[in-house]
Amino acid sequence: MNQPTSLIQSALLLRIIAILTFPLGVVVAALLERSVLMVAALAAGMLLASWVERFRLHRLTGHEGYPAVTGLLPGFAVRAGLLAGLFIVCLGVFALFRETSLARGYGAVDVGLFCATTGIALLANTFSARIATQEVSAVMGHMNTGFSNSASSGAGDGDGEIIEGEIIDKE
């Protein structure tokens, strides 16, 4: 009986990993003295991971078409602002211990860091969603079995009243 709790904890741990990959990517970018443009790229990757999750939830709830795109620009601005603040703080701390000189453009390191960070977040979200879907399906199966057993055992044979979810016998 301890296994479902462990699986749910694993799903939550994967979600936390997905959330923390982008701030860790910014810290690595500051440590490697990458360009400030890398912050915008990581914010775009964070928005992409969020958008993929939004699509998944939109399809899971049975909606057709695409989710509303009205929150994309403010979402990007908030993410870019938070990641830029973290980047500046990290650069300030690193500048206390060594001389810093930021790169002036994108390079192979930037592309690798972007792909790794975004890929880890997308994979963690995908595995977490699969675990959560399996667990919800198992719980719903148990609940449906429980309701069908209670209905067949005589609780719903019409000789009582249901008031606020309780079955009250006529005796």
Distances (CA, A) of 109 to 26, 32, 35: 13, 9, 11
Instruction: Considering only residues 168 and 27, tell me which one the structure prediction assigns the higher pLDDT.
Output: 27
Q: Is 27 inside a domain boundary?
A: yes
Q: Is 150 inside a domain boundary?
A: no
pLDDT at residue 162, rounded to an integer = 59
Question: Is there a contact between 19 and 124 (Cβ–Cβ < 8 Å)?
Answer: no
What average pLDDT does this structure show over 60-78?
84
- pLDDT, one tens digit per residue, over 82-99 is 999 999 999 999 999 988
Q: Is 110 inside a domain boundary?
A: yes
Predicted model pTM: 0.74
Q: Is 159 inside a domain boundary?
A: no
pLDDT band at 103 (very low <50, low <70, confident <90, very high): confident
Range of the domain at 111: 3-135
Q: Is 36 inside a domain boundary?
A: yes
What average pLDDT does this structure show over 13-36?
93
CA torsion sign, 138 to 66 to 68 to 43? Answer: positive
Q: Is 8 inside a domain boundary?
A: yes
User: Number of folded domains in the chain?
Assistant: 1
**What angle do the packed helices 108-150 and 37-60 form, to 10 degrees?**
20
Specify the 3-state DSSP secondary structure of 169: strand
Instruction: Considering only residues 72 and 165, tell me which one the structure prediction assigns the higher pLDDT.
Output: 72
Question: Is there a contact between 113 and 34 (Cβ–Cβ < 8 Å)?
Answer: yes
Q: Is 17 inside a domain boundary?
A: yes
pLDDT at residue 62, rounded to an integer = 82
Q: Is 7 inside a domain boundary?
A: yes
- pLDDT, one tens digit per residue, over 117-162 is 999 999 999 998 888 878 777 777 777 776 666 655 554 455 556 5
pLDDT at residue 156, rounded to an integer = 47
